């Protein structure tokens, strides 16, 4: 069994010196300190790319770098693809050059990503593939999974690449049974025909990348076995139909060929039906049995952790190469918990779990007695003021009474609404409430539809608070006119104008705000769920 691990060097967590190739200069290239089994890129650059790569190995019992593989700088990715297509040039050297040219995937354009995917596809399907070529091709694909999602637009090319990986995983080319890269795992295995169960497990690593010693394979394990502490990232168990002794005796091939492919993210599975508006990604696992039949497949996925959000629902899906999208056909939810999501399917293909998340809210505590006392005193004072103004209205002109009563009325209603409506009786509690039906989700972000009195309270609070400012402005205008024209009477129809403006202007502003920002399926565009 052969395994290769290639990770970014700032994610090294080992401390034992025996696990490292110390930084050294080999030939004319210098390589950084690297973990055994990893590939290191040279510090020397050429046109922004490393000049060479070398693998740190421990074949002799002492960690050391292997011979450097130089970048053929005269070749571009397009040149490499042309040479592979025409069967010219050293295939191994072209594979290493492709790996180096894609070592900075975030800088690759959409055209270069497409070309690199075509190269990797051709390498995996080549009749002359070797162990080193296979590892270089899988490393290239792993690096492409770190490329920009917006630039991975060529759906047919990446779909062909995933199909090539599925076929590659069924064959043990030159004893390459396991290839582990940071974003990609390819596992090939042959099991006896009488095998009933097979289990593939990927455990969580500290760096978040796939690591060879955390990829486990077991036969005749009849159930999902999540590791304690939630360390199981992905697990798949395949059950085969029972085989009669007579069919085993007459079978020429006594082994099943099985392949697994595990993707760090769903960059190669671009869905039109499911939108990742929160920028989340999903692990994708593929199980391939060739022509063999399967009784059923059980899977276990660890929920993605999203800051300030909790899991709302999930869907067990498989990739439909005809639709070029996810589908729930043949899959169902089994059971679930806060740490584990389980799925059941009746076929083998590329599987994933689509998750939607609900934002976590921190609700304010109930009003304390000091706030209640202060608001109550305000309500009493405003009520007394309104009563006094109404009782003594005949002793003054109409305008001041209307203005003062309107100001106090707005403040009184606002204070009452605040005391009675500040506590949200329809809280979005952060509890797991998974739906039983396995329905394809539209997005990874769940937005609660508007329910309860919150929006109505927010509208009234906005209206009466705006009304308070408007009536204060009108009262200030009235005082200004009275001082400037102390001997003159108020303008005719002044009371009618103030009533229309005082109560009408806030209504217009609130209506415009609601029309622009409020939607029934997204009420938080207008209001807040928490204080």
Q: Are residues 354 and 379 in the same domain?
A: no
More confident residue, 498 or 398: 498
Domain boundary among 37, 54, 70: 70
pLDDT of residue 5: 35
* Domain-located, residue 351: yes
Is the pLDDT score of 12 beyond 80?
Answer: no
pLDDT of residue 408: 95
What token pair was written down for 185?
């795992």
| Dist CA 470 CA 461 (whole Å) | 14
Domain that holds residue 234: 177-360
* Domain-located, residue 145: no
Is the pLDDT score of 377 beyond 70?
Answer: yes
Give helix 398-421 / helix 494-517 axis angle, nearest 10°: 30
pLDDT of residue 327: 95
Confidence class for position 59, pLDDT limits 50, 70, 90: confident
Confidence class for position 422, pLDDT limits 50, 70, 90: confident
pLDDT of residue 307: 83
Select, from the ranges 401-405, 478-482, 518-522, the one with the highest average predicted confidence (pLDDT).
401-405
* Domain-located, residue 35: yes
| Dist CA 75 CA 101 (whole Å) | 10
Q: Are residues 421 and 340 in the same domain?
A: no
Domains of the chain: total? 3
Domain boundary among 360, 378, 410: 360
Q: Are residues 374 and 504 in the same domain?
A: yes
Q: Are residues 348 and 426 in the same domain?
A: no
What is the mean pLDDT of the segment spanning 252-280? Answer: 86
Confidence class for position 486, pLDDT limits 50, 70, 90: low
pLDDT of residue 176: 63
* Domain-located, residue 87: no
Percent of the chain scoring above 90 in pLDDT: 38
Q: Are residues 211 and 355 in the same domain?
A: yes
Is the pLDDT score of 3 beyond 50?
Answer: no
Helix (H, G, I), strand (E, B) or coil at 357: strand
pLDDT of residue 13: 40
pLDDT of residue 247: 52
Q: Are residues 424 and 454 in the same domain?
A: yes
Query: Percent helix, strand and coil across the chain, each rounded to 5?
Result: 35, 25, 40
Select, from the ranges 205-209, 285-289, 523-527, the one with the highest average predicted confidence (pLDDT).
285-289
Select, from the ranges 24-28, 241-245, 479-483, the one with the highest average predicted confidence (pLDDT).
24-28
Is the pLDDT score of 196 beyond 90?
Answer: no
Q: Are residues 397 and 294 in the same domain?
A: no
pLDDT of residue 227: 61
pLDDT of residue 319: 95
Is the pLDDT score of 6 beyond 60?
Answer: no
Is the pLDDT score of 225 beyond 80?
Answer: no
Which CATH number fits the domain that encloses residue 518?
Answer: 1.20.1070.10
Select, from the ranges 36-50, 90-104, 221-235, 481-495, the one with the highest average predicted confidence (pLDDT).
90-104
Q: What is the pLDDT of residues 112-136, one digit of tens each?
A: 999 999 999 999 999 888 888 998 9
Q: What is the mean pLDDT of the chain?
A: 83
Q: Are residues 193 and 321 in the same domain?
A: yes
* Domain-located, residue 209: yes
* Domain-located, residue 18: yes
More confident residue, 369 or 388: 388
pLDDT of residue 153: 64
pLDDT of residue 209: 81
The number of CA neighbours under 13 Å toward the Cβ of 17 is 2
pLDDT of residue 187: 92
Which CATH number fits the domain that encloses residue 349?
Answer: 2.60.220.50
Which CATH number fits the domain that encloses residue 45?
Answer: 4.10.1240.10
Nearest to 121 by CA among 147, 73, 84: 84
What is the mean pLDDT of the segment spanning 366-383? Answer: 84
Domain boundary among 48, 70, 92: 70
More confident residue, 253 or 141: 141
| Dist CA 453 CA 524 (whole Å) | 13
More confident residue, 315 or 433: 315
* Domain-located, residue 156: no
Nearest to 100 by CA among 131, 71, 143, 141: 71
Q: Are residues 330 and 400 in the same domain?
A: no
More confident residue, 266 or 279: 266
* Domain-located, residue 161: no
Parallel, antiparallel or unpaired: strands 445-446 and 350-359: parallel
8 in the Ramachandran plot: left (φ > 0), alpha (ψ -120 to 50) or beta? Answer: beta
pLDDT of residue 83: 92
Q: Are residues 355 and 426 in the same domain?
A: no
pLDDT of residue 25: 92
Select, from the ranges 211-215, 462-466, 484-488, the one with the highest average predicted confidence (pLDDT).
462-466
Q: What is the pLDDT of residues 70-109, one digit of tens each?
A: 998 888 999 999 999 888 888 999 999 999 999 999 889 9
Percent of the chain scoring above 70 in pLDDT: 85
- Chain-centre distance for alpha carbon 182: 18
CA distances for 366 relative to 417, 425, 431, 480, angstroms: 14, 11, 21, 42
Q: Are residues 516 and 460 in the same domain?
A: yes
Is the pLDDT score of 253 beyond 60?
Answer: no
Q: Are residues 251 and 399 in the same domain?
A: no
């Amino acid at each position: 069994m052969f395994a290769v691990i290639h990770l970014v060097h700032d994610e090294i967590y080992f401390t034992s010196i025996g696990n490292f190739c110390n930084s050294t200069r080999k030939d004319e290239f210098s390589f950084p300190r690297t973990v055994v089994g990893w590939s290191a890129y040279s510090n020397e650059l050429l046109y922004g790319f490393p000049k060479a790569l070398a693998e740190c190995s421990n074949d002799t019992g002492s960690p050391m770098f292997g011979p450097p593989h130089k970048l053929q700088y005269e070749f571009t990715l397009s040149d490499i693809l042309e040479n592979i297509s025409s069967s010219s040039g050293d295939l191994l050297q072209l594979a290493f050059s492709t790996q180096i040219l894609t070592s900075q995937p975030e800088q690759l354009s959409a055209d270069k990503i497409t070309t690199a995917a075509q190269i990797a596809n051709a390498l995996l399907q080549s009749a002359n593939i070797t162990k080193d070529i296979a590892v270089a091709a899988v490393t290239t694909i792993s690096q492409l999974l770190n490329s920009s999602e917006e630039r991975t637009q060529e759906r047919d090319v990446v779909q062909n690449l995933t199909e090539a990986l599925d076929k590659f995983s069924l064959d043990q080319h030159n004893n390459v049974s396991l290839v582990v890269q940071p974003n990609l795992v390819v596992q090939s295995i042959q099991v006896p025909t009488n095998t009933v169960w097979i289990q593939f497990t990927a455990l969580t690593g500290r760096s978040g990348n796939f690591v060879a010693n955390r990829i486990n394979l077991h036969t005749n394990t009849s159930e999902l076995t999540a590791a304690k502490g939630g360390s199981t990232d992905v697990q798949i168990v395949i059950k085969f139909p029972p085989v009669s002794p007579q069919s085993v005796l007459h079978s020429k091939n006594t082994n099943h060929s099985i392949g697994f492919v595990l993707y760090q993210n769903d960059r190669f599975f671009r869905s039109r039906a499911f939108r990742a508006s929160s920028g989340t990604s999903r692990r994708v696992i593929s199980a391939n049995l060739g022509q063999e039949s399967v009784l059923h497949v059980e899977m276990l996925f660890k929920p993605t952790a999203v800051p300030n959000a909790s899991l709302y629902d999930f869907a067990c899906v498989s990739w439909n190469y005809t639709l070029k999208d996810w589908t729930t056909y043949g899959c169902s939810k089994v059971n679930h918990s806060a740490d584990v999501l389980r799925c059941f399917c009746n076929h083998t293909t590329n599987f994933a779990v689509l998750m939607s998340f609900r934002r976590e809210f921190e609700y304010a505590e109930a009003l304390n007695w000091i706030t209640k006392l202060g608001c109550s005193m305000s309500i009493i004072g405003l009520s007394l003021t309104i009563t006094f103004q109404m009782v003594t209205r005949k002793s003054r002109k109409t305008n001041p009474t209307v203005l003062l009563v309107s100001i106090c009325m707005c403040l009184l209603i606002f204070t009452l609404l605040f005391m009675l409506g500040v506590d949200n009786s329809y809280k979005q509690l952060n509890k797991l409430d998974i739906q039983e039906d396995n329905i394809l989700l539209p997005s990874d972000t769940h937005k609660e539809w508007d329910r309860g009195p919150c929006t109505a309270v927010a509208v009234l609070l906005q209206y009466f608070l705006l009304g308070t400012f408007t009536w204060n402005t009108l009262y200030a205008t009235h005082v200004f006119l009275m001082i400037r024209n102390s001997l003159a009477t108020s303008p005719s129809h002044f009371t009618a104008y103030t009533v229309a403006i005082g109560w009408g202007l806030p209504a217009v502003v609130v209506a415009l705000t609601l029309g622009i920002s409020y939607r029934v399926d997204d009420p938080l565009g207008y209001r807040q769920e928490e204080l």
